[in-house]
Amino acid sequence: MASGLINKIGIPRGFSQKDFNLVAYGGFGDGLNNYAHSMAWFNDHLYVATTRGNFPLMKKRLPIGMDPWPVECPEDPFELDLRAEIWRYNPRIDEWTRVYKAPVITGSHGKPIPRELGYRGMLVYQADENDVPALFVSTWSPAKGPGPLLLRSEDGKNFKPTCEPGLIGLPVTTIRTLTQFNGRLYTTPAGSRGGNPNVSSHSVVYESRDPAAGQWEPVSDFGFGDPGNKTIFEMCGFGEHLYVGTFNLEGYQIWRSTVEGIPPYHWEKVIDCGAYRGQYNQCVLSMYPFKGSLYVGSAIQGGGIDRQNKIGPAPPELIRIFPDGQWDLIVGEYRQTPDGDKIPLSGYLPGFDNFFNGYFWRMCEHNGWLYLSTFDWSSALGYAQRSTWPEPFANIINHLGEQFILEEQSGFDLYRSYDGENWVPVTTNGMGNPYNIGLRTMSSTPYGFFFGTANPFGPKIIPINGDKYIHNARGGCEVFFAPNHGK
């Protein structure tokens, strides 16, 4: 491509790895800030919110099967400071400021706990031109906490709850997705107690015409009438419809509605059975409208390996949906479906030919290009108990060596496309950091393109084949920034 803003055939230049600058690292100076879990551009600043202590929390609640445990952590993770944080970045002077930290409350067991472990979603909401724009943040509550909240701020400094815990008092622990459509705000619970951050057992779409006042009402039937829809995981407005993607052990479903009339609204199923791939397209993890189509990325919970339900490992797929409901397979496996033969138009197999990619996690458009990120679980191989793994796969890992895989394979992938079919890599090694297991957040701004990583390998790790925990200078979430070309 030409070095300027536009190449010889009129296509704006997309970003490559060398265009990005590392503007935050080490979890903003605290390796317990593991996930840059949500991000938004608000009041001429970038806001990034974190989730803390992911590996310590996972060790306590989930039988993952790792020995040694990668990160130093106490028996009780709540001995650590797990209060989630919100940071603000001024790109004009390259300055970060922590603007919020979750308060400490008394849990149901009578002990002090953080009110929020993480901030999983973020959105700037303005009902109409007469409304004051405000930053909304969805939260992740400890199991012994009162439940998740939606926080609101008009100045980016003071964040106040707008609803009762659990949105309307529901027995849930997290709220993930926030979507504005036709002047209204939509959300849904994403997790429940008992170590289920992705299964709410309350798969209902909620709508608010006045979210500042905490007024929410259900606008769909439970699971759209299918008990297999355990969670509504992602939402996106596209054209005349609000689209909703589910978590379903037989394969995700995608529903849409014009959200008109009297609730519960009429909903139409557009995609069934994980786009006919079945259980390996377990949930819709990302949705993004781009050049007349809606792009949908899939995942299996747990990083691509659902141990609880014995599904996977399997890498994700990407499809696109047209306004008339027809769809194409972009990245994935060729198959015959009731909608005809589906051939991956990109030429890529699931996961962009990378077996270790467990999610197509986030999408974002910037300057005419669609960017798509992944979660890559290969960095955990050096700690995994592989005695029960299929012999051929375990033999390959043993032959290559865990350190080789960490250095040569690990780290998220980021791809971009100008037309939705032809994709080129931006990075396939986590921007040079193998501990960046995923790219979780992206934001297109007037100054350029930002993204934030998931990196739970901090503050201290035990190196592969090591015998003691040491400080990891590349542990904790990172934020990268590519300034607009020509600026």
- Encode burial over 166-201: b for 16+ CB neighbours within 10 A, e otherwise: bbeebebbbbbbbbbbeebbbbbbbbbeebbbbbbb
Mean pLDDT confidence for 237-254 = 98
In this predicted structure, the answer to whether residue 391 has a pLDDT above a threshold of 80 is no
Distance in angstroms (rounded) separating the CA atoms of residues 415 and 353: 12
Question: Greater confidence, 227 or 200?
Answer: 227
Q: Give a yes or no: residue 11 inside a domain.
A: no
Q: Give a yes or no: residue 206 inside a domain.
A: yes
Answer positive or negative: Cα dihedral of 462, 465, 468, 471: negative
pLDDT at 22: 98
437, 428 contact by CB (below 8 A): no
Q: Give a yes or no: residue 210 inside a domain.
A: yes
In this predicted structure, the answer to whether residue 3 has a pLDDT above a threshold of 60 is no
Question: Greater confidence, 306 or 334?
Answer: 334
In this predicted structure, the answer to whether residue 2 has a pLDDT above a threshold of 60 is no
Q: Give a yes or no: residue 157 inside a domain.
A: yes
pLDDT digits (tens, 9 = 90+) for 108-129: 999 999 999 999 999 999 988 8
Q: Give a yes or no: residue 274 inside a domain.
A: yes
Answer positive or negative: Cα dihedral of 127, 132, 135, 137: negative
pLDDT at 4: 44
Distance in angstroms (rounded) separating the CA atoms of residues 212 and 440: 27
What band does 7 get if pLDDT is binned at 50, 70 and 90?
low
Distance in angstroms (rounded) separating the CA atoms of residues 76 and 154: 36
Q: Give the E-state strand segments of 5-44 in sequence order.
A: 21-24, 33-42
Least confident window among 34-48, 198-212, 287-301, 388-402 = 388-402
pLDDT digits (tens, 9 = 90+) for 183-214: 999 999 987 777 777 788 789 999 999 999 99
Question: Greater confidence, 20 or 195?
Answer: 20
Q: Where are the alpha helices (DSSP H) in 210-305?
A: 273-276
290, 276 contact by CB (below 8 A): no
pLDDT digits (tens, 9 = 90+) for 328-338: 999 999 999 99
pLDDT at 224: 97
In this predicted structure, the answer to whether residue 294 has a pLDDT above a threshold of 90 is yes
Distance in angstroms (rounded) separating the CA atoms of residues 381 and 385: 8
Mean pLDDT confidence for 305-320 = 93
Q: Give a yes or no: residue 322 inside a domain.
A: no
Count: domains in the chain: 1
The CATH number of the domain holding residue 148 is: 2.120.10.30
Q: Give a yes or no: residue 331 inside a domain.
A: no
In this predicted structure, the answer to whether residue 486 has a pLDDT above a threshold of 60 is no
pLDDT digits (tens, 9 = 90+) for 47-86: 999 999 999 998 887 667 788 899 999 999 999 999 999 9
Average pLDDT, the chain: 93
Structural tokens at position 235: 């939402």
Query: What is the percentage of the chain residues whose pLDDT exceeds 90?
Result: 83
Q: Give a yes or no: residue 460 inside a domain.
A: yes
Q: What is the pTM of this model?
A: 0.96
224, 267 contact by CB (below 8 A): yes
Mean pLDDT confidence for 237-257 = 98
pLDDT at 1: 33
Q: Where are the alpha helices (DSSP H) in 328-450?
A: 391-400, 402-408
Bond into 313 cis (ω within 30): yes
Give the range of the structural domain holding residue 309, as residue numbers without chain letter: 17-289+301-313+351-483
